[in-house]
Chains A and B, each alone.
Chain A
Amino acid sequence: MATQLLVKAAAVYKDAPSPVVPSVAEIIVGLVAFSILFVLLRTKAVPMFEKAYAARTSAIEGGMERAESAQREAEAALKAYTAQLNEARGEAQSIREEARVQGAAIIEDLRGKAQEEATRITAAARASIEAERQQAVSSLRHEVGALATELASKIVGEALEDQVRQSGIVDRFLVDLEKSEK
């Protein structure tokens, strides 16, 4: 039986090619198939995988960058806000200062005006008093002349009346009187 097996096996082995001797046709087929696979993966698959990797990396880095820039922006905004606040404070201060100055000026102005008004009123009053005095003086003078003349005519007689009127004796008398008073 053993010999039979051996014979059988030998028959089988004789038909089959050696498994360790490569068939040239298969090598060529293998080379071609592998080349096709290599080219396909290299041009279609690998770049896309790398693209996904790069996109992922940049997405992570981009996210960090965005966060950083947001922080920078926030800081800048805060700085700007603080500056604006300071500026506003300064402005308010200057406005207050200006208002105070303006207020003082207005008060000064009003005071001046009031003073002027007072002066003017006083002057007007004084002028009117003077005018009234002048009027009183002249009317008094006139009346004094008339009374004196009347008195004198009563004393001297009626005849003198016309002559006195013509020669201005009374006026001269009064002038002399004033002169003597001085």
Chain B
Amino acid sequence: MAQPGFVPPSSADFFFNPAVGSSILATKPVMLLLFSVILISAFFIVSARKAAVVPSRLQFAGEMVYGFVRDGISRDVIGEEFQRFVPLLFAIFTFILTNNLFGVIPLMQFPTMSHIGFPVSVTIFVYVVYHFVAIKKKGLGRYLKEMCFMPGVPKPVYVILAPVEFLTYFAVRPLTLAMRLFGNMFAGHLLLLLFTLGGQYMLKSALFVKFFSILSFGLAIGLSFFEMGIQCLQAYIFTLLAALYIAGALADEH
């Protein structure tokens, strides 16, 4: 056993030492996150700056993303009062999409959202907003009553249904929202790591095994494109669910 065995990637690979000092601000995910804020705001502020009737190519690109969130998600899901929530949903979508895509962009190659703290922070926003909107609109009592006792159900069923509904609104929704995004990004990145590190390991092995590294690298590349799809999809799902929760909070009955 002269040669060290293959060490599979683990959750440890997701944790980085600070580049300088010991502050968390200097770790890779945080720096990527802050970079994404600069990148997104710069892009959209610059592209929207002129607000021309006939858009330039840049403005058109910005409007395409904005229009997708505004009309494709916000208006279609929330309806009448959608305009109020467009900035939030727009920020959520671009924030998550950009940070997810960092996972396949060369040199960055780390999906920030695979650190659960970040999905959690966005989820906190959504959580606060949809409860706040509902309480403001219906009042706390009516909100809780409508939540736990949906009409048209036989009375004894409420014994089970009421706690389930309550848990759904207050625990399951935020948990699933954050976990879904985190899990997808985490697993995707782990998968890419596995095939990349595996290929690397096999490349250093015996000649016969070297050939298999081609297969491994090929898979890593193919999966990168697959990941790109998932990253876009997850950003969309997160935004869509946020819109759905807000729409549910605004609806008179659910």
What is the size category of the interface that chain A forms with chain B? 35 or more
Choose among B10, B90, B120 the residue that contacts A16 (Cβ–Cβ < 8 A).
B10
- A45 touches which one: B45, B121, B124 (CB < 8 A)? B45
Once the chains are docked, how many angstroms separate the CA of A18 from the CA of B91? 28
**Contacts A13-B12, A42-B91; A23 near B48 (Cβ below 8 A):** no
C-beta contact mask, A1-45 vs B, less than 8 Å → 1, else 0?
100110011001101111111111111111101101110111011
A42: which B residues are within 8 A, CB to CB?
A: 87-88, 91
Q: How many A-B residue pairs have CB under 8 A?
A: 153
- CB within 8 Å for A41 and B5 given contacts A16-B11, A49-B63: no
Give CA–CA (A31, B56) in the complex, Å. Answer: 33
Q: Which residue of B lies closest to A60 (CB)?
A: B53
Q: Which of A50-58, A128-136, A140-148 contacts B (4 or more CB under 8 A)?
A: A50-58
Which residues of A lie under 8 Å from residue B10 when comparing CB positions? 9, 12-13, 16
Known: A4-B5, A31-B124, A41-B90. A13 touches B37 (CB 8 A): no
Which residues does chain A contribute within 8 Å of B24, judged by CB atoms?
Answer: 23, 25-26, 29
Q: How far is the CB of A171 from chain B (nearest CB, A)?
A: 127
Chain A residues with CB below 8 A from B118, complex form: 26-27, 29-30
> In the complex, how many angstroms separate the beta carbon of A19 from the nearest chain B beta carbon?
4
Binds A, one of B26-34, B165-173, B195-203, B239-247: B26-34
Residue pair A22, B45 in contact (C-beta under 8 Å): no
Residues A30 and B122 in contact, CB atoms below 8 Å apart: yes
> For the complex, is A48 an interface residue (Cβ under 8 Å from B)?
yes
Given the known interface contacts A22-B120, A34-B91, the answer about A44 and B45 at a Cβ–Cβ threshold of 8 Å is yes
Closest chain B residue, CB of each to CB of A41: B91
Is there a chain B Cβ closer than 8 Å to A101's Cβ? no
Instruction: Name the CB-closest residue of B to A19.
Output: B11
Within 8 A of A (CB), among B8-49: 8, 10-12, 14-15, 24-25, 29-30, 33-34, 36-37, 40-41, 44-45, 47-49
CB of B162, distance to nearest CB on chain A (Å): 29
Q: Is the CB of B120 within 8 A of A30?
A: yes
- Which residues of the other chain, A, contact B52 by a CB distance below 8 angstroms? 52, 55
Please report the C-alpha to C-alpha distance between residue A90 and residue B229 in the assembled complex, in whole angstroms. Answer: 81
Distance in angstroms between the alpha carbons of A144 and B52 in the assembled complex:
130
Q: Bound state CA distance, A24 and B118, in angstroms?
A: 10
Give A29 Cβ to nearest chain B Cβ, in Å: 5
Nearest B-chain residue to A25, judged by Cβ? B24
Any chain A CB within 8 A of the CB of B139?
A: no
8 A Cβ contacts from A50-77 to B? 51-52, 55-56, 59
Q: Can you list 21 contacts pairing A with B, beta carbon distance less than 8 Å?
A: A9-B10, A16-B11, A16-B12, A19-B11, A26-B29, A26-B115, A29-B25, A30-B120, A30-B121, A31-B121, A31-B125, A34-B37, A34-B95, A37-B40, A37-B94, A41-B94, A45-B45, A45-B66, A46-B90, A48-B49, A56-B53
Binding site for B on A (CB under 8 A): 1, 4-5, 8-9, 12-13, 15-31, 33-34, 36-38, 40-42, 44-46, 48-49, 51-52, 55-56, 59
Extra pairs beyond A30-B118, A34-B122 (19, CB < 8 Å): A4-B1, A4-B5, A16-B10, A20-B179, A26-B30, A26-B117, A29-B118, A30-B33, A31-B125, A33-B37, A37-B95, A41-B40, A41-B90, A42-B91, A44-B48, A46-B86, A49-B62, A49-B70, A52-B48
